Amino acid sequence: MIETIRKLVETYGPSGHEGQIRDVILREIEGLADEVSIDALGSIIAWKRSGKPDATTIMLSSHMDEIGMIVTHVDKEGFLRFANIGGLYPNTLLGNRVLFADGTIGTIGVDAEVSATSTPKLSQLFIDASNGKKHTVKVGDAAGLHRTLEVRGERLIAKSMDDRIGCAIQIEVMRTLKQCPHDVAFVFSVQEEVGLRGAQTAAYAVAPQFAIAIDVTRTGDTPNGYKMEVALGKGPAIKIKDSRMLASPEVITLMEKAAKAANVPYQREVLIQGSTDAASMQLVRAGVRAGCLSIPCRYVHTTSETVDRNDVKNAVQLLMKLLESPVKV
């Protein structure tokens, strides 16, 4: 599974520019689904069918887009000003490298007048994409953060664990799941980082009875850090609430029962800031019973998003048990 994760986290794909990561995922799931389609926004919908006319429809969704930046101005020296695509933290950007769709790599710099002890504004940062010649980057081009995967024992460190790790989990479930009494739509959604958009249109097409997002969540296990009862290595987290959603009690119960039946540890998550595809899936059509299975992740929205390999493995086992078991609507 590590090599799948490596391919996913190292691939370019800011929100609205998911073509390269979509191609990688399509290659990874080739032959694993009964039907595969791409909707108008660009989300992948891959079906595993039960063959039963009265089967329950379950939708899983993990987003393939990542945070990034879009060029707003190119000065005469070729330095690039940019705006955010999704949630960028200016205090984490200085000195980091970025990758454009054509392979151009740039470095983020800061205006000289900014104090070393202050936090710069995005408007005070620029991208240096010079290579001694005139580069081809233009206004409107998008970049993602650029960093390779590092494996440190059980800890996996990379940019875009949010949410390529959710995509990797879905791919592993698709590879492992042989028989299922449900019709399952595995969705790899677009534009989550800019408003949970892809999952909403995909859920309208799928019309599920149950929907589960697979995404990352923050942790409360760093010194003097965020106060939250989620930690790395203690199992995937079953979301109860976040800033945009109250998870459906039926889905919480489904996941808790599956965790116990699979004999895997799990945590209960209440997230004060942030949300997932579940919030948009929940409100489609006449409403959908929706929840989220979260992978604890330190340093979210940086180039060093960190997860624990055991949490990932246990998430796969939980989802396998849930999908293999009968579900009553």
Question: What's the average model confidence in pLDDT over 4-30?
Answer: 98
Question: What's the average model confidence in pLDDT over 19-48?
Answer: 97
Q: pLDDT tens for residues 206-252? A: 999 999 999 999 999 999 878 899 999 999 999 999 999 999 999 99
Looking at 10, 18, 28, 192, which residue is catalytic?
Answer: 192
Question: What's the average model confidence in pLDDT over 250-260?
Answer: 97
Helices 2-9, 19-28: axis angle to 10 degrees equals 160
Question: What's the average model confidence in pLDDT over 262-290?
Answer: 96
Q: pLDDT tens for residues 133-192? A: 777 899 999 999 999 999 999 999 999 999 999 999 999 999 999 889 999 999 999 999
* Catalytic-residue membership of 250: no
Angle at 226 between CA 215 and CA 250, to 5 degrees: 40
Q: How many CB atoms lie within 10 A of CB 72?
A: 13
Long-range own/partner contacts, residues 311-314 (CB < 8 A, 24 or more apart) = 311/232, 311/233, 311/234, 311/235, 311/236, 312/1, 312/5, 312/156, 312/165, 312/168, 312/169, 313/1, 314/235, 314/236, 314/259, 314/262, 314/264, 314/265, 314/266
Tell me which of 117 and 192 has the higher pLDDT: 192
Domain 68-145 coded CATH 1.10.1060.10: no
Question: Does the pLDDT of residue 329 top 70, yes or no?
Answer: no
Q: What CATH topology corresponds to 2-66+149-324?
A: Aminopeptidase (3.40.630)
Cα(326)–Cα(188) distance, rounded to whole angstroms? 24
Structural domain spans, the chain: 2-66+149-324, 68-145
Tell me the pLDDT band of 78, cut-offs 50, 70 and 90.
confident
The reported pLDDT for the residue numbered 132 is 74
Helices 161-176, 309-324: axis angle to 10 degrees equals 50
Comparing CA positions, the residue from 80, 68, 76 lying closest to residue 129 is 80
Tell me the pLDDT band of 115, cut-offs 50, 70 and 90.
confident
The top-scoring range by mean pLDDT among 78-82, 89-93, 310-314 is 310-314
Comparing CA positions, the residue from 156, 168, 166, 165 lying closest to residue 277 is 166
Question: Does the pLDDT of residue 289 top 70, yes or no?
Answer: yes
DSSP string, 283-298: TSTT--EEEEEEEE-B
